[in-house]
Amino acid sequence: MLREHVWAAGLAASSGLCGLLPDRPRYAFASAVGRVAGGFFPSKRAAVERNLQVINAFAGRSFKAEDVYRNFGITLSDFLGGRDVSIRVEGRERAEAARARGHGVLVLTSHLGNWELGGRVLADWGWPVTAVFQPYRSRAMQGFIQKRRAASLKYLAVGRGAAHGIGKVLKSRETAVMLADRPYGEDGAPVTLCGRTARLPRGPFLFACRFNTPVIPGFVVMDRPGQYRTVVEEPLWPEGPGAVKNLMDKMALVLERYVTQYADQWYCFEPVWDS
């Protein structure tokens, strides 16, 4: 709790500065702050390094933790600074075709790139969107973040009543957006990710099967500071026996493609794979 209060105070100060600086010095400042911040949370940095070891060994890459924190600082400055950013969209037609089938839509993303922009993109299309989020324990931190989220979205906190709320959204043939790379409030279920066993949340896929709703993987990656690309993947539909496990395995393959390509933008500060 205390750490979140400190974070809120620090982010508030940084947010004010980001709002004043021109882009070039703002990104330089944000990059430096991101690199320094990584040293203040050794357990988080150790988790990032362990995750990168798995990805690098699997994909033959050489991603580094300092690049994760540098990019996180830059992405956070775009979120906090209140500046307009460029967002290019690839694959909107896939999402529109799935939505036109009238089953509601479950958009799944991850802590990769600027995921907060994803819901804003859908709202700009005129879609009724409910974003599901994990609340912070600190009210100050939660209030600070919430004020900077897209005002055109509805928000639903994970916890008591969330399952009913998500079901209501899908029954109404609207859109729910969820992060699906870490279990929240559940143990999750095993999948193979980068050649090793990891756990994804099972809840989103249970909803998809219960309401016969397509799962649409989507990611907002940073091409350069201030310029983002929203990529909409092919919809995944519940099919046949073992539909939940089938959907989870397919989502794991999609996630694997992105984390092996953009591991330096995967802001997952918890260990994904067991030691």
> Residues 5-60: pLDDT tens digits?
455 555 555 665 666 677 888 888 888 888 888 888 899 999 999 999 999 999 99
pLDDT at 11: 59
pLDDT at 252: 98
> Residues 233-254: pLDDT tens digits?
999 999 988 999 999 999 999 9
Q: Which of 33-42, 53-62, 205-214, 255-264 has the lowest mean pLDDT?
A: 33-42
Interacting residues of 86 by C-beta distance below 8 A, sequence separation 6+: 226, 227, 228
**pTM, entire model:** 0.90
Measured CA angle at 29 (ends 28, 35), to 5 deg? 90
Locate 144 and state its tokens: 């600070």
Residue with more model confidence, 81 or 4: 81
Average pLDDT, the chain: 88
Which one, of 197, 194, 212, 192, lies nearest residue 266 by Cα?
Answer: 194
